[in-house]
Amino acid sequence: MSDAEAKAGTPGREILGLRGPVDRDYRVKLYDFRRPDKFSKEQLRTVANIHEVFARLAGTALSIRLRLPCEAHLSMVDQLTWEEYAHSMPTPTVLSVGRMAPLKGRFTLEIEPVAADAIVERLFGAGSIPAPADGTIDAPLDCEALKAAGSNTRLGAVGLTDLEFAALETVFADLYGRVAEAWSGIEKLECALEQVETDVQFAQIVPPHEMIVIATLELVIGGRKGLLNLVYPFQLIEPLVPKLSARYWYGIRGKPGETVGLSRAWRVPVPVEVIAAGARLSVAELRALRKGSLVALPGLDEGLARLRSGGSELRTLRLPAARSGRMLRFEVVADAGADEAPLEDTGGDSGRGATEGLQRSLEVFGAKVEASIASLGKALVALEGKQEALADRLLYGAAAGAEQDAGKPAGARPFSALAGASAEDLALFLSNERAQVAALVLSWLDPVLSSGVLSRLPENAQPEIARRVGRLDGAGAEVLSSTERVLVKKLAGMGAEKRDAGGVASVVGMLNLVPRAVEKHVVETLEKVDRALAEDVKRNMFVFEDISILEDESIDAVLGGAEERDLLVAMKAVQEPLRERLFARFAKVRGEAEAARLRAEFQAIGRVRLRDADEAGFRVVETVKALEEEGRIFIAREED
């Protein structure tokens, strides 16, 4: 039966089990027993009222945290099964799970990828939030269009990284506080974040066919539009269902600025008692007391008594000298504060009075001890912060007036803990992050370290990261602190697993000690399978400085076979003793005049780059190896 047919009316004769007249039409309400409605329309309207308040609070909270105009509007409140909701969710998404104490159970707060991506970009200092690849979605928002737009964002494509998780946790914690504030008109709740997931399969808070109520809000963040969904299972808010009515919702509201129930609270009758000090009684006298027995009250004879309510003494009373009838009327002497001496029991020490006095003294003493310990703890924390700040300035050169991280000691510059990290490790970790995250981290690093990291990041990402560094609009202290904490932890884990081993130096060390035949075979094979590695090995096996180990006759052969220009340029990077030895061999081989000319040319060359000197030295080394192959010179080896 369709909705139109149900509204038009159903003949009574077609209704099974009808006890009324069958010759008339009845309006029939469709009811799906597979998903029974557990919330009435009035209750859903009350939930809508609650989340209109939450929308205003959430918009204000996001605007403050993101330093950007943000809006939130309630779009829909409906009830459906958890399975239907889960099937409509995009994957990945940003789904948080939390508790609403003292209610039993959990609820979810989901921010879809378009809005979540905009929040992440802004948290990490984006000056402007880029639109999705297919443009900004215009209202009214369409779920399928939102999924398509979300898949075009980085978050929708690869999900959340650890740094983004840590930053979003602060946003969710803030929004959870607004949820509790919105529900405060119904019940005082404490909302706490438990976990953040990107797949609904990892957040199965109720069985698939359990009924839920969902409140959908439309978020507008820097021109980007997305949805925020709050999901409450029926079993969670079942204790609050009787209160979800317009009568209760509006009945508890007072006038603006008036505390709810304050005027009535002052008129609530409370039981009070007047206590007067009694005479000291023995155990036998206490056992002998019966109904109608008389007990002496010396304190009352003196006209003194105490007024008590709820276990606390409120006033000290005095009985006037003139009494009227059987009713006793007391005068208030003073407040029974902590500074007022308690009334003494007449007739001896009272065990109860002494116990109360001792308990009050212990409480005062305990409070003073706790205050002293707290003061000492603060002093120790301040001293530790100063020590860490001094260490940071000594090690990393942090300026005394640098901007401080809210979660770090005074004087500690954000990301100062990364000053000793290697550029390779940082680049390896940041290569998996979005460009905005890398830009924020690099902007706080030392220029030498940041340049090393940037040069090791993917080439296609380098221009965008540089652009975002230039357009950076700053980030909150909580984001800086959480980002540094996660980076330090990740880098520490990488350092624990990394062991420096192998490399060109190890290959050269081995080949320098093996027989000449083995060395030749290995190098020739490497030239065929890995030419770059073979060149590095050859460059490091015999360097220009190793000429010093040659005999004079061998040096003479090298000076005669190598290019004169290469020799002079390579000599710029060697120590003075080796340089003088080479000039002496020049004079021996070519004569003093030729040696003087070469010295003049050496001085005329001036300063050269180290790279040019190394390349010239490598060409000289090639000559040395060629002469060795010809047998004209001899290089001593381990087997020799």
Cα–Cα distance for residue pair 321/387, rounded to 1 Å: 70
Most trustworthy range by pLDDT among 2-6, 134-138, 148-152, 217-221: 217-221
Q: Residue 391's pLDDT band (boundaries 50, 70, 90)?
A: low
User: Could you tell me the maximum CA-CA distance found in the chain, to the nearest angstrom?
Assistant: 143
Q: Could you name the CATH architecture of 416-497?
A: Orthogonal Bundle (1.10)
Contact 191, 57 (CB under 8 A): no
Closest alpha carbon to 168 in 188, 133, 198: 198
Contact 252, 142 (CB under 8 A): no
Q: Residue 99's pLDDT band (boundaries 50, 70, 90)?
A: very high
Closest alpha carbon to 491 in 540, 422, 433: 422
- When pLDDT is averaged across residues 108-135 and rounded to a whole number, the result is 80
Beta bridge partners of 96: 109, 196
Q: Where are the beta strands (DSSP E) in 268-418?
A: 273-275, 304-309, 312-318, 331-335
Q: What percent of the chain has pLDDT over 90?
A: 14
pLDDT value, residue 316: 83
Lowest mean pLDDT among 35-39, 91-95, 347-351, 406-410: 347-351
- When pLDDT is averaged across residues 312-322 and rounded to a whole number, the result is 76
- When pLDDT is averaged across residues 362-372 and rounded to a whole number, the result is 76
Contact 586, 559 (CB under 8 A): yes
- When pLDDT is averaged across residues 616-634 and rounded to a whole number, the result is 78
- Better-scored residue on pLDDT, 190 or 624: 190
pLDDT value, residue 518: 77
- For the domain covering 542-630, report its CATH number: 1.10.220.30
Report the chain's terminal Cα–Cα distance, integer Å: 103
- When pLDDT is averaged across residues 236-242 and rounded to a whole number, the result is 89
Q: What percent of the chain has pLDDT over 70?
A: 76
DSSP H/E element including 52: helix 41-66
577's tokens: 């003793």
Dump the DSSP string for 66-130: HTS-EEEEEEEEEEEEHHHHHHHS-SS-EEEEEEEETSSSEEEEEE-HHHHHHHHHHHTT-SS-P
The mean pLDDT value of the chain amounts to 77
Cα–Cα distance for residue pair 392/41, rounded to 1 Å: 62
Cα–Cα distance for residue pair 559/561, rounded to 1 Å: 6
Is the overall model pTM greater than 0.85, yes or no? Answer: no
Beta bridge partners of 312: 309
Closest alpha carbon to 52 in 73, 32, 37, 36: 73
Cα–Cα distance for residue pair 34/29, rounded to 1 Å: 15
Cα–Cα distance for residue pair 322/301, rounded to 1 Å: 13
Q: Does the structure show a pLDDT above 60 at 593?
A: yes
Cα–Cα distance for residue pair 120/113, rounded to 1 Å: 10
Q: Does the structure show a pLDDT above 80 at 341?
A: no
Residue 92, preceding bond cis, omega within 30 degrees? yes
Cα–Cα distance for residue pair 560/582, rounded to 1 Å: 12
For the 41-250 domain, the top CATH level (class) is alpha beta
Q: Does the structure show a pLDDT above 60 at 346?
A: no
Closest alpha carbon to 546 in 473, 605, 488, 617: 617
- When pLDDT is averaged across residues 147-164 and rounded to a whole number, the result is 81
Residue whose entry in the numeric block shows the structure tokens 């948290």? 123
Residue 102, preceding bond cis, omega within 30 degrees? yes
Lowest mean pLDDT among 58-72, 262-276, 294-308, 397-411: 397-411
**190 CB-near residues (< 8 Å, 6+ apart):** 100, 101, 102, 180
Cα–Cα distance for residue pair 300/294, rounded to 1 Å: 14
Q: At what angle do helices 477-497 and 162-183 cross, to 10 degrees?
A: 140
Most trustworthy range by pLDDT among 233-237, 416-420, 543-547: 233-237
Residue 69, preceding bond cis, omega within 30 degrees? no
pLDDT value, residue 406: 43
Cα–Cα distance for residue pair 237/189, rounded to 1 Å: 11
168's tokens: 């979003």
Question: Is 155 strand, coil or helix?
Answer: helix
DSSP H helices, 397-499, are 423-430, 435-444, 447-456, 462-470, 477-497
pLDDT digits (tens, 9 = 90+) for 455-506: 989 988 889 999 888 888 888 888 888 898 888 888 887 654 455 566 777 7
pLDDT digits (tens, 9 = 90+) for 513-540: 667 677 778 877 888 888 888 777 766 6
pLDDT value, residue 348: 43
pLDDT value, residue 315: 81
Question: Is 219 strand, coil or helix?
Answer: strand
